[in-house]
Amino acid sequence: MSKAKFFIYRVKDEKGRDLYGVMEGLNKKDVQMAVSRTKYYFVSATPITKKRLFAKKVNFQTLIMFTHRLTSLIEAGVPILTGMDILWRQSENRNIQ
């Protein structure tokens, strides 16, 4: 019996915007099937490796700045995944990405 893994997936919404998320599944096809039951169009899924899970740590000040900006976006009515995508694209810090 296969062991479930976590995948970072990318989807498109009805306006063609990219959204990202994390989902547990047995394989890429499993994630694709789960996403197909939503209103989003599946683009890709990449397994999260141990190397990626234990990447370099983000310093405290950078984390505070990120969460403050994310909070501002959420309070402005931006969906959390969209807000994280915006911050990810704006970030120059590879550890945040």
Whether residue 33 sits in one domain with residue 13: yes
- Pick from 79, 6, 7, 90: nearest CA to 46: 7
39 inside domain: yes
Asked, for residue 95, whether it belongs to a domain, the answer is no
The residue among 14 and 93 whose pLDDT is bigger is 14
d(CA 26, CA 46): 12
Q: Are 83 and 70 in contact (CB under 8 A)?
A: yes
Alpha-carbon dihedral angle through residues 7, 85, 83, 49, given to the nearest 10 degrees: 30
Domain that includes residue 39, residue range: 5-53
Strand partners, 9: 21, 45
| pLDDT at res. 29 | 94
Which pLDDT belongs to residue 80? 85
Say yes or no: 47 and 71 in one domain. no
pLDDT at 4: 75
What pLDDT is stored for residue 54 in this prediction?
A: 54
Q: Determine, yes or no, domain membership for 80.
A: yes
Q: Can you give the pLDDT at residue 12?
A: 92
pLDDT in tens, 26-84: 999 999 999 889 899 999 998 887 665 555 677 778 778 888 988 999 999 988 888 88
Give the pLDDT confidence score for residue 31 in this predicted structure: 92
Token readout for 55 is 């990447």
**How many domains are there within the chain?**
2
Please name the residues in contact with 31: beta carbons below 8 A apart, sequence gap of 6 or more.
Answer: 7, 9, 23, 25, 42, 45
